[in-house]
Structure 1
C-alpha cells in the first residue's frame, strides 16, 4: 500500500528519478590523470597541496577519477610543467605561475609580484574580484585553465652568507630568487638566479650563489639552508601572498562531465585553504627552532625596501607600456590592491600591530 501511495503522489517519472539519483557519480566513466608538480616530494606543505587535491577528487568520485602526483623532475623538469600541460604530455600541473614570466610577464600576476597583495587579498581578487576571469583569459592562450591551488602567506626574505646592511650589499649579490622578483633584484644591482627548490642547497653550499630564498621557516629548515647561510632576512617584499595554481589542459578539462568539473573545482578549493593553514600552523615552531640553533634574523634595511619599491613601480609602468596582456590584468590588479590596502589599514594592520606588541 505504501509503495502504491508513493507512486500515485510522485508519478512514475519521479520514482525513476529517485531511484537513479544516487548513481550520478558512479555512472561517470573511469578517468586516470597525471599531475606534474614543480616541487620536491620532501615538502609536505607546498608539494602536499597536490596530494590533498588528488585525494579529494578520488574520494568524491568513489575512486572513479584518480590523479597520480609526480614530483618535480620525475616526469619533466620542474620549470617544464606549463609546456607539459600545454602540449598534453600531462593533463595537469601544480606550480607557481611566476616561474614562467619568461614566456610573458603576465604569468607573475597570477602568483605574486614585488609589493603585490597578501594572501587574503589575493584570494579575494581571484574569487570575488576579476582575478580568476582575467587570468583564465590569459592562460587560454596556452591551452589551459587554472584553479587556485594554495598560498604560502607572506614569506621570509631568504638566507645570506653575510647580512644585508645597506643597498651597497645588494651590488653583485648572486641571489637565488623565484621568478619575477629577479627583475627587481637585477635593477638593484644583484645577480638573480632562478633555481628549482631541490637544487638550491647544493648551489648555496658550493658558493655558486651568495644567498637564496625559498618560502619560510618550516620548508627552509627541511631543506637545511641554515647550515650553509646563517643570516635570515625578513620580509620577502617580493612575495606578500604568492598563489600556487593547478593548471589543467583545456581539452582534458572540457572532456570532463559537469559533475567532474564541479568536483575538480571543490577539490582545488580544499587544497587552496589547507596549504595556508599548514604554513601558518607549522612556521612559528620552525622559526623558534632555527633561532635556537643559531640562525640570525635581520630586517631588510629601509633604503633597500624603498629602492626595491621604487624600482618595482617603475618596472610595472615600463611593462604596461609594451605588453598589452600585462596592462589589462595589472590595471585591475593595482586598483584592487589599493582598495584592499585602504581597508586593511583600518582593520587587519591595526589589530595585528597591537596584538604583536602584547605579551601573551
Structure 2
C-alpha cells in the first residue's frame, strides 16, 4: 500500500524506521502552517515513536491545489495531509463547523470542547463515515483579525457592498445577511488586490502571519476581533485503512503527538501574536473594534445559518450535522453561562 512505506520492519535496532508517510501541507516552509504546525507535529511523532514513524512534509505546490489535499489523500497521491476542513466548502455543513465557526468557540473554550466534551469523537466519526479517512486534530490557532481594510468597518451596515476576501461559511453568512460581496482569491493574491483596490477588505490569518505578508502596508484599517475565526483547528488526515493497519502502540503515540502539538501550537502562535500587536500598535494603522451589537447579531445569524443547513441534512437522513451544531452551541452556551468564575487577563 502506498500509504505505508515499510522499511526495516524486522530490524532489531531500537530506532528502526518502520513507517514513512508523505504529508502535504497548505503553504510554504516560510509560514506559520509549517513552522508552528506541520514541522513540530512531524518532530513529535518521530520523537514519541523512537524514530519508527517518519513524516516527510510536502510544501504547497508539490501536490496540486492546496484546496484539494483531502482528495489527494483519497486518490492515493499522498499518504497524509495537514489541512483545514474549511477548504472542503459548505456543501457538508459539518466541515463548515467542526474546526472553526463564526462567533463560535474561542481560544478559551475550544480545547475543552474538543478533548473533554465530545468534539474530537464527532470529528473522527464524520471523517470515517463520510470520507473513509481518519483524522488527528494536530494544531490549533488563536483568533484571527476580522480584516485588513481600506475603509473602517464596525457593523453590518459598513459591510454592505464591500468586496470582502473571505471564504467558506463566513462568506455565505456575510453575503446572505449583510450584503457583502465575497471574493475568493488565494492568499498570495491578497496583498496586490488590497493595494490596487481590487478588494475593499480581506481576512486571512492571525496577526503575526498577516504582518509577515505585509497587509498592514497596503490597508490602513485593522478590524478586530476576528469573530469569523475565534479559534481554528487543523487536522492531519489519512485513509482509514492506513490508520487501521498501524500497531496500537504507534496509534497511541501519534494521537499523543497530535494532542501535544495542538496545545503547543496555540501557545506559540499566541505569544508571537502578542508581540505583533505591540509592534502594530506603534505603526501607522488604525485599529477599529467591531460593535458589540453587530457581534451579537452575527452570532444569531451564524447559528441560524448552521441550524438551517443541519435541518436540511437531517431531512435527508443525515443527523450528524445537527449533532455537531447542537454539541458546539450547547457547550458554548454552557461555557458562557458558567465560566464567569474564571480569571482572564484579557480586558473587557
TM-score by length of 1: 0.85
Residue 47 (structure 2) aligns with: 59
Structure 1, gaps ≥5 residues long: 1-22
Residue 139 (structure 2) aligns with: 150
Distance 1:343 1:24, change over 3 A: farther
Residue 72 (structure 2) aligns with: 84
Q: Deviations over 1:107-156 (max 9, x none)?
A: 12221111211133221122111111111111111111111212112222
Distance 1:28 1:340, change over 3 A: farther
What's the offset of the Cα at 1:232?
Answer: 0.2
Matched, 1:270 2:265: no
Within 1, Cα distance between the matches of 2:174 and 2:301? 9
Within 2, Cα distance between the matches of 1:257 and 1:52? 22
Residue 289 (structure 1) aligns with: 279
What's the offset of the Cα at 1:78?
Answer: 1.3
Give matches, 1:180-219, under 5 Å: 180-187=169-176, 188-219=178-209
TM-score by length of 2: 0.87
Residue 312 (structure 1) aligns with: 302
Residue 340 (structure 1) aligns with: 335
What's the offset of the Cα at 1:284?
Answer: 1.5
Number of aligned pairs? 331
Matched, 1:226 2:216: yes
Within 2, Cα distance between the matches of 1:315 and 1:162? 27
Cα RMSD over matched residues?
2.2
Residue 74 (structure 1) aligns with: 62
Within 1, Cα distance between the matches of 2:144 and 2:281? 17
2:148/2:221 contact within 8 Å kept:
yes
Q: Deviations over 1:321-349 (max 9, x none)?
A: 2023311211222222211112223324x
The 3-state SS of whatever aligns with 2:322 is helix
Within 2, Cα distance between the matches of 1:306 and 1:121? 18
Residue 37 (structure 1) aligns with: 25
What's the offset of the Cα at 1:102?
Answer: 3.2
Distance 1:208 1:314, change over 3 A: same
Residue 131 (structure 1) aligns with: 119
2:103/2:295 contact within 8 Å kept:
no
The 3-state SS of whatever aligns with 1:323 is helix
Within 1, Cα distance between the matches of 2:13 and 2:98? 32
Q: Deviations over 1:290-322 (max 9, x none)?
A: 222211101113453243223213212311220
Within 2, Cα distance between the matches of 1:329 and 1:163? 35
1:78/1:196 contact within 8 Å kept:
no
Matched, 1:50 2:38: yes
1:84/1:90 contact within 8 Å kept:
yes
Matched, 1:331 2:326: yes
Within 2, Cα distance between the matches of 1:71 and 1:223? 17
User: Could you tell which deviates more after superposition, 127-136 or 300-309?
Assistant: 300-309
2:164/2:200 contact within 8 Å kept:
yes
What's the offset of the Cα at 1:25?
Answer: 8.5
Within 2, Cα distance between the matches of 1:74 and 1:241? 28
The 3-state SS of whatever aligns with 2:305 is helix
Within 2, Cα distance between the matches of 1:24 and 1:266? 25
The 3-state SS of whatever aligns with 1:106 is coil
**Which structure would you say has the larger Rg?**
1
Structure holding more helix per residue: 1
What's the offset of the Cα at 1:214?
Answer: 1.8
Matched, 1:243 2:233: yes
Distance 1:166 1:277, change over 3 A: closer
